[in-house]
Amino acid sequence: MTTSTLDDRLAVTREGRVSTVRLNDPKTLNSMDTQMALSLREVLRAEAKVCSCIILAGGERGFCSGANLSGDLAPGDGELDAGQTLEDAFNPLVETIRTLPVPFITAVRGAAAGVGASLAMSGDIIICGRSAYFLEAFARIGLVPDGGAAWLLTRSVGRVRAMELMLLAEKLPADKAFDWGLITRLVEDNAVEAEAMAIAQKLADGPTRALALTRQSAWAAADSSFTETLQLERVLQRDAGNHPDFAEGVAAFKEKRAARFGG
């Protein structure tokens, strides 16, 4: 089922309990302006209320080529506060992704550049086609990486490799991204979305509340000490243990059958 969105550059389809949100502006390789970022945030928040897993996909030639520098983000004659754009649109978008109550998968083909790279890297599971590449292009235009890029990169590939990617602004092809641990799976281009959907359906059939709490724990752990992580796990486990999915999981284990989680 296809649904309408706030922005015709976004398309949403639902298959069972999985929502696929597609960046759909092929003429710009899905470059993103302020309005598109705000619309994507609202779409993700809305879909998280009606599905159990979200896939964010782009087009065949590009996932997202970054900020649209020909639109409202283009420098003019007066002073431009590029940081205000982040505060108003892009930062709320990536914060929304971080706090989604459902698993979030990114399906990447072609270019994932600039803020598009940050969106791709924000997936819980990142599926890339062999044509995919990541590009922190900011140094080429005199800006700094945004969309949480520095945080995401240093925690995925380490400080030194992250520095190389951001300072030299060179493409990181998908096969090297896989070797470096930046992405989850590397598949043929024509298999990217099928692979993402297979994983999404598996997650959607899982214990939805426990998966949401797992996301919360994992994101928090990246900024927390070991002791703080243990303390948070204790709180989250209490929440998960009080959910009917836990009782069903235990019953299924004892009865040696597949669990039927209610979500």
Spans of all domains in the chain = 2-204, 208-255
3-class DSSP state for residue 42? helix
Domain spanning 208-255, CATH architecture: Orthogonal Bundle (1.10)
Cα 13 to Cα 3: distance, rounded to the nearest angstrom: 6
List the beta bridge partners of residue 30. none
211, exposed or middle or buried, with CB in 10 Å at 0-12, 13-18, 19+? buried
CATH classification (class only), 2-204: alpha beta
pLDDT tens for the chain, 263 residues long, are 666 566 899 999 999 999 999 999 999 999 999 999 999 999 999 999 999 999 999 999 999 999 988 765 555 556 778 788 899 999 999 999 999 999 999 999 999 999 999 999 999 999 999 999 999 999 999 999 999 999 999 999 999 999 999 999 999 999 999 999 999 999 999 999 999 999 999 999 999 999 999 999 999 999 999 999 999 999 999 999 999 999 999 999 999 999 999 86
Query: pTM here?
Result: 0.92
DSSP letters, 75-86, are --SS---HHHHI
- Give yes or no on whether 2-204 and 208-255 have one common fold: no
